[in-house]
Amino acid sequence: MNKRILLAAAAALALPLPVLAQTAAPDPAALRDAALKDDVAWDITEGLTTEVGQRLAATEAEARAREWGAKKLKALGFQNVRIETFKMPLWVRGEEQAEVLGGSAQKLVIAALGNSGSTGPKGVEGEIVYFPTMADLQMAPEGSLKGKIAFVSHSMTATQDGSQYGAFGAARRSGPSTAASKGAIAILIRSIGTDYHRNPHTGVTNWPKDMKPIAAAALSVPDAEQLERLLKRGPVRMKLLITPEFKGEAESGNVIGEVPGSDPAAGIVVVGGHLDSWDLGTGAIDDASGVAITTAAAKRIMDAGQPRR
């Protein structure tokens, strides 16, 4: 997801101040302890996710989120609050249907990956070619996926530090372009995540310049496991209807508020998070809470007295 910055605050962190400074340097530990007792970050997270909800980058909803953010920064006392817009490509989700054909006909639950191509309104049909890992897909011979639908399962497991997300995310980020380069008409990947509900995990996929995007979607974890079970019984043909659209350049933007420092020559400190979210949820974690925590931190610094930077 492209990042939109809610807050770019010129805020001093707790640096040694000259002896003549009128206010004592704030104690970082005291700032931290006080921050844990206020509701600023919670209010921002709850408000943004409730009042705006989903806010896919460059959509009307993200524009509402910018207005919401600017109003909130003003209300919190930040100065020079403003919105700086820019253009970016707009990708919008369409229909999403996946169906196993033949004697075990059944629907599976999918979500198109961000930047997925379209199957067109009639959908595509093809045989599934199973790749347990991303490395297996990479080793598939050139042209071997012609007319086929690739399926990369590549199941990650839960770890306390979330470290598998980066590694297994390769199937989402570059699996589609790899499959397309070998002739696949579409690709399904197992959701990058370990939740066992039927809400597939979206997220961006990348295409080399000049490559025509193919349809690319994630299966929820139980649906990916269902497809694996079916493939153990024999060949599987599927029909996919995935119709997202690239709508050209549209307006996105940053929301900026400042805490002016006492020494303009000392530079600025930027803290921020990204305001936009995916369209399948309200982005409480990705990244309303990040926006909220950084805003609350900047407000704490502001309220502790004018910083130098």
> What is the C-alpha to C-alpha distance for residues 66 and 107, in angstroms, rounded to an integer?
38
The distance of closest approach from Cβ of residue 280 to a second copy in the complex, given in angstroms and rounded to an integer, is 8
Residue found by looking up tokens 């033949």 in the block:
102
CB 242 within 8 A of CB 85: no
**In this complex, which beta carbon is closest to a second copy, that of residue 106 or of residue 144?**
106
Report DSSP state, residue 23: S
Q: Is the dihedral of CA 222, 225, 227, 230 positive or negative?
A: negative
- Which residues of the shown chain bind a second copy in the complex (CB under 8 A)? 46, 50-54, 60-61, 64, 100, 103-107, 195, 197-199, 226, 229-230, 233, 279, 281-282
Could you tell me which residues are beta bridge partners of residue 186?
Answer: 149, 215
Select 64 or 237, whichever has its Cβ closest to a second copy: 64
Output the smallest distance, CB 104 to a second copy, in A. 5
Q: Could you give the C-alpha distances from 4 to 69, 114, 145, 308, in angstroms and in order?
A: 11, 16, 37, 26
Nearer residue to a second copy within complex by CB, 146 or 229? 229
Residues 37 and 306: beta-carbon distance below 8 Å:
no
Based on CB atoms, which residue is closest to a second copy, 84 or 195?
195
Please, what is the minimum distance in Å from the beta carbon of residue 52 to a second copy?
A: 7
CB of 65 to a second copy, least distance (A): 11
Distance CA 58, CA 86 (A): 9
Nearest distance from residue 44's CB to a second copy, in Å?
14
Q: Which is nearer to a second copy, 204 or 284 (CB)?
A: 284
Instruction: Estimate the share of the chain in helix, then strand, then coil, as percent rounded to the nearest 5.
Output: 30, 25, 45
Q: How far is the CB of 242 from a second copy (least distance, A)?
A: 17
CB 301 within 8 A of CB 35: no
Residue closer to a second copy by CB (options 54, 194) is: 54
Helix (H) or strand (E) segment spanning residue 128:
strand 124-131
